[in-house]
Amino acid sequence: MKEVNPKETTRAYAFEMWMNAPMPMVTLFKAMDVSRLVRISRQKGLKFNMLMGWCIGRAASRIDEFYLLPVGRKLMQYDRLAVCSIVANREGGISSCDVPFSEDLRCFNADYLRLTRQVAERCEDHNLTDCMVIGTSALTQCEIDGAVGVYSGVFNNPFLIWGKYRRRFWKQWLTVSFQFHHTQMDGVHAARFLAGLQKEIRELEV
């Protein structure tokens, strides 16, 4: 992780336009065909949310803008990505768990299982400060049509929220909301990411 001069990046104009905006976040919604993920999850005994997290990390890793993030008043550049999951802990609350992204699905799955179990048992967040973290929140028991994340002014990280997938016309569909800071990327990058995510889901090989 290192600080970069915004004027020497492709985000120079966006940095000037949006860093002082009172609400710089943008949210896009997309219905995803997750039939393949559901099938693989059931056949291989893999957690659906883990598979979603890996596909999110893989799609994001193909887009340069994901490696830049406004932090405070600075623009930071990262070498690595992580995907954060919200975990129900043993005290009945929730904790956050950053899982480093790996191109190797087996490695990501092992880290996901180990770290989420650790967070649930210890009731302590697991934060990776040297990674650009993509937040996720899965409301898997709830049928929702969409959700907009809370902008605290502290965390500018991109964030995805989804609920329960639904069966329609012999396929399983999941509505995903994607919130991002406009300094980090434009709508076209976000739309390309969501299209890439759908591609990763449909082409997943285990």
Confidence check: pLDDT of 161 > 90: yes
Q: What is the pTM of this model?
A: 0.96
181 contacts 70 by C-beta, under 8 angstroms? yes
Domain 25-202 annotated CATH 1.20.1070.10: no
Per-domain boundaries in the chain: 25-202
Residue type, 109: N
Distance CA 117, CA 131 (A): 21
Give 120: exposed, middle or buried? Use CB within 10 Å, 0-12, 13-18, 19+. Answer: middle
Q: pLDDT of 101-144, one tens digit each? A: 999 999 999 999 999 999 999 999 999 999 999 999 999 888 88
Q: Is the dihedral of CA 57, 140, 135, 121 positive or negative?
A: negative
Q: pLDDT of 55-93, one tens digit each? A: 999 999 999 999 999 998 999 999 999 999 999 999 999
